[in-house]
Amino acid sequence: MFANPIFRRLCLDNLKRPSMRWQSTLVIGEHADGKLTPITLNAITAAKQFGDVSCLVAGEQCANIAEEVSKIDGVSKVLVSDNATFKGLLPESITPLVLEAHNQFKFSHIVAGASAFGKNVIPRIAAKLDVSPVSDIIGIKDKDTFVRTIYAGNAVQTVKSLDAVKVLSVRGTSFDPAPEGGSASVENFSASVSNDLTKWVGAELTKSDRPELTSAKTVISGGRGMKNGENFELLYKLADKLNAAVGASRAAVDAGFVPNDMQVGQTGKIVAPQLYIAVGISGAIQHLAGMKDSKVIVAINKDAEAPIFQVADYGLVADLFKAVPEMTEAL
Amino acid sequence: MALRILVGCKRVIDYAVKVRVKPDKSGVVTEGVKHSMNPFDEIGIEEAVRMKEKKLASEIIVVSCGPQQCQETIRTALAMGADKGIHIDIPAADLSKVEPYHISKIFAKLATENKADVVIVGKQAIDGDNNQTGQMIAANLDWPQATFASKIEKDGDGLKVTREIDGGLETINLKLPTVITTDLRLNEPRYATLPNIMKAKKKPIEKKTAADLGVDLTPKQQVISVEDPPVREAGQKVEDVSQLIEKLKGAGVV
């Protein structure tokens, strides 16, 4: 077969250096409370740029999630690992599972959304593969060059990974959610994984009927100017009129006005809605890092010098306790 | 339970400084700019000190990787209550090429050498915003990890940690030894008092290099460019609520 020396070299080259058509990506599906987490759809859109997409769905009783993922456009294969070991999606159990999938399928890219889950598990996987991960990417230049922000979004870094396998987390707001329209095969994937290092005890989730903060089309956030937690009621009323999610600045969270999972900013959630209304928020760089890619930004603040007005498309210098109820009334 | 705790502290550009990108797009200007300890690391040191005050911990070793000025960062940690310091000397010129990948290998080596039971680092450094080092230390050691911790309690032979997750909070139990990364809500760091700052001057700081620990600092990534983010166009002030709503309707967002 290898009689012809040129043919022989081509074959060997192909073995050593797989061509683009052999690129294949693994997306680690995220789900909570029996529902697929929307950021997985954004991660799939990013992953499609590298080639063939497989999606891993691990958890306890996750067959319906796998079914849902198989209908997403761009996914060609869903690997399901339905096992109590994966309850709580702890990184100590997900990591060996991903490694075993990688051993079998040799992915070029391993991707997850840059959520609390993705940020927790992606670096552990990378270290186990002895590669340097790239966090929270906002753009893809080519299969090994990525764009991300540093210094609370005050600088944009383009970085080229020199590793054989790229392990990435993806900023959800920078990639559109992948639409339905696929028909992937669903395969059971079992690996001999046990975890005696950690145990998931339970979660205390904030209950809300409003849309989820990171994927809402409209977000209204309150800051220190709200003065107390009860006054957030004003924002909830306005939010209900606009079908908006409610966020907060770190100042409002630290003062105990609202729970910390509502925090928007460098160390909280990154949002990029169609409309962001900042109420009683001065606009510290750490807060701007979490919302400055919003399409339209509105600021309501009584201090005309507040830095938030420098990024706001429409600024209203007014007392929020008058302006917000007036707005709710008028809409 | 008398744990030996290894805590990381990174020297970063102070959080209140507005950074400037270098004209040659190679990075941001760091010379002559105010630096301080990464805020999440301050929280880590505070937590270690509180664990010692509760007799959960016996010794706190604080580590910083970077140029000579990192010794000031270590002194701050010693003044807050850490017992001794280790400075991993990395020249300023090489620092921008060092990734969490390398730092996590250094920490894993130090944790083993110093027989640490707990490694605490901040959830992220506010310069690179990577949020990787703690998770990678845990992987290198095959230890469990508790990231984004907002509460740490003793639980039998292990620890019980409450974590900040997207929908709220989650609780996990961990076996020791373990790696913990701190979130903002874990505690409020104390200020070092003058007598403690004086005492800290007498505490030992050991100086080592990555090579001493057998860690290779060859970059795994290449920074192609660092640029300014796109600037938003200046907006306009509106007179009142009705004008605001009119504008928003015009823009098609309400």
pLDDT tens per residue across span A32-58: 989 999 999 999 999 999 999 999 999
- Higher per-residue pLDDT: A267 or A227: A227
Amino acid at B167: G
C-alpha dihedral (A45, A48, A54, A60), degrees to nearest 10: -10
Residues of A whose CB is below 8 A from B129:
135-136, 148-152, 266
The reported pLDDT for the residue numbered A13 is: 41
DSSP per position, B13-72:
E-TTS---B-TTSSSB--TT--EEE-HHHHHHHHHHHHHHHTTSEEEEEEEEEESTTHHH
Tokens of B202: 């007498």
Helix axes B133-141, A116-128, angle to 10 degrees: 40
Suggest the residue from B109, B170, B236 to mutate for an interface test with chain A (most A CBs closer than 10 A): B170
Cα angle A147, A151, A152 (rounded to 5 degrees) comes to 90
CB distance B230 to B117 below 8 Å: no
Amino acid at B240: D
Check which CATH number belongs to the domain holding A124 and give it. Answer: 3.40.50.620
The reported pLDDT for the residue numbered A22 is: 57
Exposure string (b/e) for A187-223, b if CB count within 10 Å is 16 or more?
eebebebebebbbbeebeeeeeebbebbbbebbbbbb
* Overall average pLDDT of the A235-256 stretch: 96
Tokens of A62: 């996750």
Strand partners, B208: B88
In a domain, A10, yes or no: no
Q: What digits encode the pLDDT tens for the residues A293-307?
A: 999 999 999 999 999
CB distance A256 to A229 below 8 Å: yes
Alpha carbons B34 and B19: distance in angstroms, whole number: 10
Q: Which residue has the tokens 């970085």?
A: A159
Q: Domain limits of chain B? A: 3-250
Q: Does residue A40 sit in the same domain as residue A147?
A: yes
**Domain with A309 in it:** 218-330
Alpha carbons A329 and B224: distance in angstroms, whole number: 51
Q: Does residue A184 sit in the same domain as residue A222?
A: no
Residue numbers belonging to the annotated binding site of A: 224, 249-250, 263-267, 280-287, 301
Residues of B whose CB is below 8 A from A259:
168
- Residue B224 sits at the chain A interface (C-beta within 8 Å): yes
Amino acid at A329: E
Q: Is the dihedral of CA B78, B84, B89, B94 positive or negative?
A: negative
Distance from CA of residue A153 to its chain's centroid?
A: 16
Q: Does residue A55 sit in the same domain as residue A180?
A: yes
Q: Indicate the residue of A162, A315, A318 with minimum beta-carbon distance to B222.
A: A162
Q: Is the dihedral of CA A181, A187, A191, A195 positive or negative?
A: positive
Question: Cis peptide leading into B177, omega within 30 of 0?
Answer: yes
| Interface contact flag, B175 A145, Cβ < 8 Å | no
Q: Does residue A226 sit in the same domain as residue A184?
A: no
CB distance A245 to A211 below 8 Å: yes
By CA distance, what is A145's nearest residue in B? Answer: B224
| Interface contact flag, B225 A127, Cβ < 8 Å | no
Q: Indicate the residue of B139, B227, B238 with minimum beta-carbon distance to A316.
A: B238
In a domain, A286, yes or no: yes
CB distance B91 to B207 below 8 Å: no
| Interface contact flag, A159 B221, Cβ < 8 Å | yes
Alpha carbons A1 and B9: distance in angstroms, whole number: 60
Alpha carbons A284 and A267: distance in angstroms, whole number: 13
Instruction: Kindly state the helix (H) or strand (E) to which residue A278 belongs, with its residue range.
Output: strand A275-279
* Overall average pLDDT of the A188-216 stretch: 92
Q: Does residue A132 sit in the same domain as residue A280?
A: no
DSSP one-letter code for A205: E
The reported pLDDT for the residue numbered B80 is: 98
- Residue A310 sits at the chain B interface (C-beta within 8 Å): yes
Instruction: Kindly state the helix (H) or strand (E) to which residue A288 belongs, with its residue range.
Output: helix A285-288
Domains of chain A: total: 2
The reported pLDDT for the residue numbered A163 is: 98
Residue B206 backbone zone (phi > 0: left; psi -120 to 50: alpha; other: beta): beta
The reported pLDDT for the residue numbered A23 is: 77
CB distance A183 to A71 below 8 Å: yes
In a domain, A45, yes or no: yes
In a domain, A194, yes or no: no
Q: Please tell me the pTM assigned to this model.
A: 0.93
CB distance A191 to A77 below 8 Å: no
What is the homologous superfamily of the domain B3-250 according to CATH?
HUPs (3.40.50.620)
Q: Does residue A143 sit in the same domain as residue A71?
A: yes
Using the predicted structure, report yes or no on whether residue A14 has a pLDDT greater than 50: no
Q: Does residue A58 sit in the same domain as residue A184?
A: yes
Residue numbers belonging to the annotated binding site of A for FAD: 224, 249-250, 263-267, 280-287, 301
Q: What number is the ipTM of this complex? A: 0.97
DSSP one-letter code for A115: S
Using the predicted structure, report yes or no on whether residue A18 has a pLDDT greater than 90: no
The reported pLDDT for the residue numbered A33 is: 86
The reported pLDDT for the residue numbered B233 is: 81
Tell which residue, A168, A166, A55, A81, has the closest CA to residue A122: A168
- Higher per-residue pLDDT: A16 or B15: B15
Q: Does residue A169 sit in the same domain as residue A267?
A: no
Q: Does residue A173 sit in the same domain as residue A236?
A: no
Alpha carbons B107 and B59: distance in angstroms, whole number: 16
Check which CATH number belongs to the domain holding A280 and give it. Answer: 3.40.50.1220
Suggest the residue from B33, B172, B179 to mutate for an interface test with chain A (most A CBs closer than 10 A): B172
Which B residues in the span 120-139 are in contact with A, Cβ-Cβ below 8 Å? 123-124, 126-133, 135-136, 138-139
Residues of A whose CB is below 8 A from B124:
267
Using the predicted structure, report yes or no on whether residue A72 has a pLDDT greater than 60: yes
Using the predicted structure, report yes or no on whether residue A169 has a pLDDT greater than 80: yes
The reported pLDDT for the residue numbered A17 is: 42
* Overall average pLDDT of the A107-124 stretch: 98
Using the predicted structure, report yes or no on whether residue A283 has a pLDDT greater than 70: yes
Q: Does residue A159 sit in the same domain as residue A233?
A: no
Q: Does residue A173 sit in the same domain as residue A266?
A: no
- Rounded to the nearest integer, the mean pLDDT of chain A is 93
Which A residues in the span 115-144 are in contact with B, Cβ-Cβ below 8 Å? 115-117, 119-128, 131-136
Distance from CA of A5 to the nearest CA of B (A): 35
Q: From first to last of the 254 residues of chain B, give the pLDDT tens digit.
A: 799 999 999 999 999 999 999 999 999 999 999 999 999 999 999 999 999 999 999 999 999 999 999 999 999 999 999 999 999 999 999 999 999 999 999 999 999 999 999 999 999 999 999 999 999 999 999 999 999 999 999 999 999 999 999 989 999 999 999 999 999 999 999 999 999 999 999 999 999 999 999 999 999 999 999 999 998 887 999 999 999 999 999 999 98
Q: Does residue A238 sit in the same domain as residue A293?
A: yes
| Interface contact flag, B166 A242, Cβ < 8 Å | no
Alpha carbons B112 and B116: distance in angstroms, whole number: 7
| Interface contact flag, B145 A154, Cβ < 8 Å | no
- Residue A260 sits at the chain B interface (C-beta within 8 Å): yes
Which A residues in the span 154-173 are in contact with B, Cβ-Cβ below 8 Å? 154-163
Last residue of a domain, one of A143, A168, A188: A188
| Interface contact flag, B225 A158, Cβ < 8 Å | yes
Residues of B whose CB is below 8 A from A274:
253
Query: Phi first, then psi: what are they for A166, rounded to 5°?
Result: -95, 125
Q: Indicate the residue of A199, A203, A318 with minimum beta-carbon distance to B168.
A: A203
Q: Indicate the residue of A132, A254, A295 with minimum beta-carbon distance to B220.
A: A132
